[in-house]
Amino acid sequence: MASDDLRDFLRYMSSLWGALGGVTVLFPLADTLFRVIPLPSDSYGQSTAPIAIPIASLVGLFTLFYTFVQRKRSDSTPARRAGLFFFLGMICLMLFFLLNHFEYRLRVAFLPGLDSSDDYVLFLVAVVPLYIGFFACVTRAFAILALMEFKPRADTR
């Protein structure tokens, strides 16, 4: 039973969409090397990367496994839902960049009592969840598409 599940999971991940889903799980870790999506730092230079990167990878891995576990449900993963998750991920990414860029102005306008030492907490509460949400949504979209490709192959064995 466990060997069949492992074999199914490897077959699931061997599709193009499964490989892309795996890349989105590992991409936050590679982001520390290539700085493609830079994570915010407060005015003292304290980065949110040590918190955001492992959480984004764990949430992405959970999303990948969660989608695979749903493989036996026939109606749980339509293609439209994959597009919806991808679109939601892009919205999270846009909001991440906007909030990261305008954080100081928004903080001064809406929370004037806070000083720059509170930036780190604001980044963790307001900006980093969008970073994590981006990777979770894109991983879910790719995992759904991989599952759609996996089902016909699994039914023919």
pLDDT, one tens digit per residue, over 70-90 is 877 766 557 888 999 999 999
Number of folded domains that form the chain? 1
What integer best gives the mean pLDDT of the chain? 84
* Distances 153 to 7, 18, 58, 121 between C-alpha atoms, Å: 12, 14, 28, 47
Say which residue the tokens 């990261």 belong to: 100
Is pLDDT at 92 greater than 90 in this prediction? yes
Query: Which residue type sits at 62?
Result: F
> Rounded CA gap, 23 and 8, in Å?
19
Q: Which domain, by its residues, includes 115?
A: 2-155
CA angle (66 as vertex; 12, 31 as ends), nearest 5:
80
pTM to 2 decimals? 0.83
The contacts of residue 7 (CB under 8 Å, 6+ apart) are none
